[in-house]
Amino acid sequence: MRLKDRVAIITGAGQGIGRAAALRFAEEGAKVAVADIVERAAQAVAEEIRAQGGEALDITVDVADRASVNAMVEQVLARWGHIDILVNNAGILRDATLLKLTEENFDAVIAVNLKGVFNCTQAVAPHMVERGYGRIINTSSVVALYGNFGQTNYVAAKAGLIGMTKVWARELGRKGITVNAVAPGFIATEMVKSIPEHIAKAMIEKVPLQRMGEPIEVANAYLWLASDEASYVNGAVISVDGGVTT
């Protein structure tokens, strides 16, 4: 087991890629804090892990709220005593073109997708520094690398996240902590499956592998970065996109 006895916090773990990661980490022996803003979703995934013989703690958290994040960290420490892995996976969409994007929707996406990552990382990092070990994985997106129509707020947040990843890799690397980013492409989550068929088809045509990715394929990238197999990988941005950025 690659993560035996490791303690992992995964935000946005109630569905999609986060859920896949929570289940995968548990399979590899991690004790998983399933964190999500939707209480029932977090509970369902934690129950699924426990039903399969794993150890999990469900936590309701709003990553944009620093008090909520601090409470999450304290809850995990109270349960397991330390934190080895943080996967900053939580994110939202509020798409609109520049001329139609409201300030409210711009701020909402930045608050969750960018500041939320800052909140969680700053809350967890001191505990990792104290132990001289940690794995921090940030979920960016391929659109951070090439932009996307109608996603000023989302692209700004995901591109900023890559910048933060590289800063933290420099700052925390000397403390025994690696910080990396994963940039998923067109992944078959529930949100993506709701896209009109003709739009989905057009997007798939841009992918060299000619298909959508599966959440587990992103989760496996998280797993590798969280494991000791990636102990010398720091400040990297790994695209899991079927070759769409090539």
Catalytic residues: 154
Contact 52, 26 (CB under 8 A): yes
Q: Which of 137, 138, 134 is nearest to 174 (CA)?
A: 134
Long-range contacts of 89-93 (CB under 8 A, 24+ apart): 89/10, 89/11, 89/12, 89/13, 89/17, 89/18, 89/21, 89/139, 89/222, 90/11, 90/12, 90/18, 90/35, 90/36, 90/37, 90/63, 90/116, 91/12, 91/139, 91/157, 93/151, 93/154, 93/191
- Helix, strand, or coil (residue 32): strand
